[in-house]
Structure 1
Amino acid sequence: MAIKTAMPRKKMCILLMPFFATSHIAPFTDLAFHLVAARPDDVEAAVAVTLANALVVQSALARRGASHLATVKVATYPFPSVDGLPSGVENHSMVKAATDAWRIDVVATDEKLMRPEHESLIREHAPDLIITDIHFWWNTYKIPPASVEMVWLFSGRRAEG
């Protein structure tokens, strides 16, 4: 008599793609954490950010405790070169002059600059669900195959002070 072994279930893969501001990255990271924490055997999540923003994700995860650091992945992609911004400035909180924040906004909403990197990440991760920031509108209409579910999300954190 053959013994049947249970086939391991494929985890649902979720890719979260926040805008280049801590007030967006932190809530997306919190959402990723809660999705994985609620169903650790069924869900895996990756937060896709530029290299300089990876620290924001790692810091948010570290506040949640070491047990969940490995369950939410950080996927990185390059930030394009921007006239007027020093290399490594990839987040609103990194901009020295408030008058330069618009440069990050222009890059974020430039489909020709951002879409190729997003397409590459989506192909690499082959997610079942993409949760994208409203700034990256092309992720909902032009990139994902029909088999991928999409959520278009605007996040923000209320300023405290």
Structure 2
Amino acid sequence: MNLVIKTILLICLTFLSLWARDIPAYVTAWPKQVPVEKPDPILGDELVWEHWIYSARFAKRFEGFALEQADSELKDSPIQAIVLRIYKKNIWLGVNDNYPEQYVTDVDLYFDDSIKIPLSNKKWKHTKSDNYPNGIEASFMELNRLIKMMYRC
């Protein structure tokens, strides 16, 4: 090896060894594997936690929704129901299959046909973003293809 490269490597190793001595104790105090609480503190023994808010019209139309628990604020609203779901999922599945599951929340909104959703005639064009991990690019390209197909209809 070249003498200059050896010297630079030696300086780097010396610097790193001095720096490593100054690492605070709390950095290495955490265990490698945190024990998982049983039952789960959020979900308990269930796979999904849900909280529904719904109108009386929604309760009459669909089974399993008590009419006396209907929310009066949704009486004259085009929004018929709102549900919050919490569950665990590996959000990096396909990118890092060994990544631990994390809590995920979904909010679903059910509304009647009086709401008119404006569709834009603007052409959506994907531009590469450095904010996303490698390997996600194909998802954006597929989304772009689906949006183009939707505008053709």
Query: Do they superpose with TM above 0.5?
Result: no
Larger radius of gyration: 2
Which of the pair is proportionally richer in helix? 1
Q: Using CA pairs below 8 Å that are at least 6 residues apart, which structure has the higher relative contact order?
A: 1
TM-score calculated relative to the size of structure 2: 0.19
TM value normalised by structure 1: 0.18
